[in-house]
């Protein structure tokens, strides 16, 4: 392992074990923006305990909340819109391995989460998924394919439960807790 790889691994170690435990939104967001190269919109926050797999590759709109203990795998890229709410313990994966490949080679695909989406606690979003505007994902769901705008999906694998029937989504203020 060369010096560059060691420095990269050390940066991830600092990010996931030290910075993620700092009880200050301001300091964490500064580090995520400057050192990890995340694009984070105004009013957005990432709570304590979030795990990042790689630097860069994440774009977050304004007033978006990522709750505690989420895993964000940005190898394929993650784009989140405005007013997105991601509950605790959500995992977003943008890579997997090709089971048909003789060397089990990796595959990457971007995850896109449009404005006003809600993802429930413990949900798993797999690579290449697109959540349309206002889509909702139930707690513990495994999302393997795109969810159209305004639909509520749940289960493993997630399937459509119902429509949201909302015509105009309101802009909600940022959500922060003092020591999260």
Q: Where are the domains of the chain?
A: 3-163
Question: How far, in whole angstroms, is CA 36 from its chain's centroid?
Answer: 15
Mean pLDDT of 131-141: 97
Q: Is the pLDDT of residue 1 over 80?
A: no
pLDDT at 44 (0 to 100): 96
Superfamily for domain range 3-163: Hexapeptide repeat proteins (2.160.10.10)
pLDDT at 170 (0 to 100): 76
Mean pLDDT of 23-44: 96
In this prediction the pTM is 0.93
Q: Is the pLDDT of residue 30 over 90?
A: yes
Half-sphere exposure of 31 (CA within 13 A, CB side): 19
DSSP assignment of 2-63: -HHHHHHHHHHHIIIIIGGG-S-HHHHHHHHHHTS--EE-TT-EE-TT-EESSSS-EEE-TT
Phi, psi values for residue 72, rounded to 5°: -120, 105
Q: Kindly tell me the sign of the dihedral angle through the C-alpha atoms of 46, 49, 52, 55.
A: positive
CB within 8 Å of 55: residues ≥ 6 apart: 8, 11, 12, 35, 36, 37
Bridge partners (DSSP) listed for residue 128: none
The answer to whether the beta carbons of residues 171 and 42 sit under 8 Å apart is no
pLDDT at 133 (0 to 100): 96
Give residue-wise pLDDT tens across range 85-122.
999 999 999 999 999 889 889 999 999 999 999 999 99
CB within 8 Å of 41: residues ≥ 6 apart: 60, 61, 62, 63, 64, 82
Q: Is the pLDDT of residue 15 over 90?
A: yes
Residues taking part in catalysis: 97
Percent of the chain whose pLDDT exceeds 90: 83
pLDDT at 169 (0 to 100): 78
pLDDT at 171 (0 to 100): 80
The answer to whether the beta carbons of residues 22 and 28 sit under 8 Å apart is yes
Binned at pLDDT 50, 70 and 90, residue 177 comes out as: confident
pLDDT at 165 (0 to 100): 79
Q: What value does the mean pLDDT of the chain take? A: 94
Output the six-digit token pair for 102.
């003789």
């Amino acid at each position: 392992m060369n010096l560059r790889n060691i420095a990269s691994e050390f940066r991830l170690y600092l990010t996931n074990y030290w910075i993620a435990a700092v009880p200050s939104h301001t300091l964490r967001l500064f580090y995520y923006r400057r050192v990890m190269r995340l694009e984070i919109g105004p009013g957005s926050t990432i709570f304590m305990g979030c795990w990042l797999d790689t630097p860069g590759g994440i774009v977050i709109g304004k007033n978006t909340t990522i709750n505690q203990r989420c895993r964000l795998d940005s190898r394929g890229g993650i784009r989140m819109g405005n007013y997105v709410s991601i509950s605790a313990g959500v995992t977003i994966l943008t890579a997997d391995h090709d089971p048909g490949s003789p060397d089990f080679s990796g595959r990457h695909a971007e995850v896109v989460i449009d404005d006003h989406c809600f993802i429930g606690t413990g949900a798993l979003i797999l690579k290449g998924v697109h959540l349309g505007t206002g889509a909702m994902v139930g707690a513990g769901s495994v999302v393997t394919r795109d969810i159209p705008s305004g639909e509520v999906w749940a289960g493993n694998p997630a399937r459509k439960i119902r429509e949201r029937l909302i015509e105009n989504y309101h802009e909600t203020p940022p959500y922060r807790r003092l020591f999260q």
